[in-house]
Amino acid sequence: MNELQTRIVEIFEDSPDMIFGFTDISYSDFGEEFKSGLVFAVPYTQQLSLNNYNEKAFHEGILGAKDRLEVKVGEIENVLKKDGIRYYVPEVAQKDDGRFRAEFSFKDAAASAGVGWFGKNDVIITEKYGPRVRLSAILIDYDFEYGKAYEKCMCPPDCDKCVEVCPAHALLNVRWKLGMGRDDIIDISRCNKVRSAFMDKLGRWGACALCLASCPYGKG
């Protein structure tokens, strides 16, 4: 582990609940500009299950994780700026162009870095928190030691709780493996149609998270 990687790892010592990893991003559209990606998962402040799930609590849990994430990104940026290392923090938002894709997939990076794997709900599942995390990534023009990538879904083969609970019937009950695309796992148009219906309730996109709350991993 080089000196820069050591200093970045040290930044996470005061946040032992966060999960992070480094990955090669040559597979991505940013591969010619940046050598590596640092991806990390911040647990929602409320780890909800179906027993205590409600949209307001889910929203508050996301906001709490978002605040912590932004602080951590700022700490890492300070180190990179001090050393004059080129970096970029990708946008979180998806493009509303019918394909609903972000400029850089945090989920692909998380699987590649060993942070988690894709569940049947097309969401990254972590051992500790299940899918109840907010992801972020920083693209860095620097070489690091990389984590061991997940290459297949690690969920129990007979678990389909997220599939059964989906109000849009958008999940295709497919176990992910490396090389699969999003459309192999989920009908994203059906998913977003139902999720957008919650906008009138909370004034924001994507309030439905039943497929997260139902996951046995990290069950609150």
Mean pLDDT of 56-84: 93
- The 10s digit of each residue's pLDDT in 8-28 is 999 999 999 999 999 999 999
Q: Which residues, 6 or more positions from 147, have their beta carbon under 8 angstroms from its beta carbon?
A: 21, 22, 23, 112, 113, 114, 115
- Is 69 a domain residue? yes
- Is 219 a domain residue? no
* CB of 140 closer than 8 Å to CB of 105: no
- Is 31 a domain residue? yes
Cα–Cα distance, 117 to 111 (Å, whole number): 5
- Is 220 a domain residue? no
Mean pLDDT of 22-48: 94
Q: pLDDT at position 98, please?
A: 54
Mean pLDDT of 176-186: 94
The count of domains in the chain is 1
Helix axes 3-11, 55-82, angle to 10 degrees: 150
Q: pLDDT at position 17, please?
A: 96
Whether pLDDT at 130 is above 50: yes
Confidence of residue 206 (pLDDT cuts 50, 70, 90): very low
Query: Is 24 strand, coil or helix?
Result: strand
Q: pLDDT at position 200, please?
A: 56
Q: Which residue has the higher pLDDT, 88 or 97?
A: 88
Mean pLDDT of 189-205: 68
Region for 130 from its dihedrals, namely left if φ exceeds 0, alpha if ψ lies in -120 to 50, beta otherwise: left
- Is 109 a domain residue? yes
**Residue 91 is part of which domain span?**
3-213
Using a pLDDT cut of 90, give the percent of the chain over it.
72
